[in-house]
Structure 1
Amino acid sequence: MEGTLFGFNEEQIADFMSTYGVAAFILFMLFIIGEIAFKSKAGKTGTAILFFVLAFGMVGFIAKSVIQKMWGI
């Protein structure tokens, strides 16, 4: 059990956190974007623009996950 945490090695922990940990942060960021839209009274168009522009950076992470699933990596 040397070099493990709760029976998981470093590679397993890193894989789990890079998938589910980052996904949790993405959901939290979407919540923050929604709060920004609500507090600024952006309206429907402004809210859509906020979500599109601020959430566009998350598309790469999601696309990477989809491509890995499709290719079986």
Structure 2
Amino acid sequence: MLAEHFELIETIGLNLFFAFIFIFIGLSINDVMKKNDVPKMGQFVVYFVLFLGCAGFIAKGIIQFVWESQGVG
């Protein structure tokens, strides 16, 4: 059974890994900004850029899913 579903398990594991990496990056950035008294506008810009990176991975996953369901990839 494991050999049959290896690709699915690998995909889920990789997606969870990226989610945890983004969470840890966000927590470390939050800690650095709190210790250095970064203004609210600076915090907004930093979190917005972090969100754009995360949104890129989400968009990639959606595009990949749509293409594979249509037989393109």
- TM-score when normalising by structure 1: 0.64
Percent identity among equivalent residues?
28
Shift of 1:38: 0.7
Q: Gapped runs of 5+ residues in structure 1?
A: 1-6
Matched, 1:8 2:2: yes
**Structure 1 residue 62 corresponds to structure 2 residue 58:** yes
Partner secondary structure for residue 57 of structure 1? helix
| 1:68 CA displacement | 4.8
With CA pairs under 8 Å and 6+ residues apart, which has the higher RCO, 1 or 2?
A: 2
Task: State whether residues 37 and 50 of structure 1, in contact with CA within 8 Å, keep that contact through their aligned partners in structure 2.
Answer: no
Count of residues in Structure 1 that have an aligned counterpart in Structure 2: 65
Partner residue in 1 for 2:26: 30
Aligned counterpart in structure 1 of residue 42 of structure 2, from 25, 43, 46: 46
After the TM superposition, which of the residue ranges 58-67 and 14-23 deviates more from structure 2?
Answer: 58-67
Deviations 1:7-60 (A, max 9, x none): 63442332122111111111111111211211111021111122123x132221
**RMSD of aligned Cα (Å):** 2.3
Structure 2 unaligned blocks of 5 or more:
none
> Normalising to structure 2: TM-score of the pair?
0.64
1:21 equivalent to 2:17? Answer yes
More helix by share: 2
